[in-house]
Structure formats: structure tokens, C-alpha cells
């Protein structure tokens, strides 16, 4: 978990895609550890399902690749305030 990282540009993309204002990757790790994330390994990536979005993390480099919103209406919504 401590190896997860992204670039500054990656964090900006995550914030834009998810309509968040995270300051660093530590805030993402906090959500994963404390808010009931479901982690699946498929091929070369981990898929971390949490709230109404999914983080795609490369299994070898631990770099966050994408973070799109899920379209599942049954998923928990993250309070973005």
C-alpha cells in the first residue's frame, strides 16, 4: 500500500475525473485503507473499487493509471464537499 504513487499530472487528472480536490496520493491511500475498498487483481493491474469510482493501479509499478467514475447507480457515493 505504501508503494502506491502517481505523478502531479496524474493527481490533477484524478481530481478532474472524480471532481475531487486531493492534495496528494496519501489521501487516496487513506480512502483505500479506511473506507471499505474492494481490490481485484486482473492481469497486470489491480482494480480498487471504492465509493463510486475505480482506481486502476499497475501491479508491478504501483502507479495509479486511471480513476474513472462508475456508472453503477447502486454504488456508494463519495461526499465531495
Alpha helices (runs of H) in 6-79, residue ranges in sequence order = 8-18, 25-34
pLDDT tens figures, 17-69: 888 888 888 888 888 888 788 999 999 999 999 888 999 999 999 999 988 88
**Model pLDDT, residue 58:** 95
**Model pLDDT, residue 70:** 85
**Model pLDDT, residue 69:** 86
Domain ranges, ordered by start, for the chain:
8-66
**Model pLDDT, residue 56:** 94
pLDDT tens figures, 7-24: 888 899 999 988 888 888
What is the torsional sign of CA 67, 8, 62, 58? positive
Amino acid at each position: 500500500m505504501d508503494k502506491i504513487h502517481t505523478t502531479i499530472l496524474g493527481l490533477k487528472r484524478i481530481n478532474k475525473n472524480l471532481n475531487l480536490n486531493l492534495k496528494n496520493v496519501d489521501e487516496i491511500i487513506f480512502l483505500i485503507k479506511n473506507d471499505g475498498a474492494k481490490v481485484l487483481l486482473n492481469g497486470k493491474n489491480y482494480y480498487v473499487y471504492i465509493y463510486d469510482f475505480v482506481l486502476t493501479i499497475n501491479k508491478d509499478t504501483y502507479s495509479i493509471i486511471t480513476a474513472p467514475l462508475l456508472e453503477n447507480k447502486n454504488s456508494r457515493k463519495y461526499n465531495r464537499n
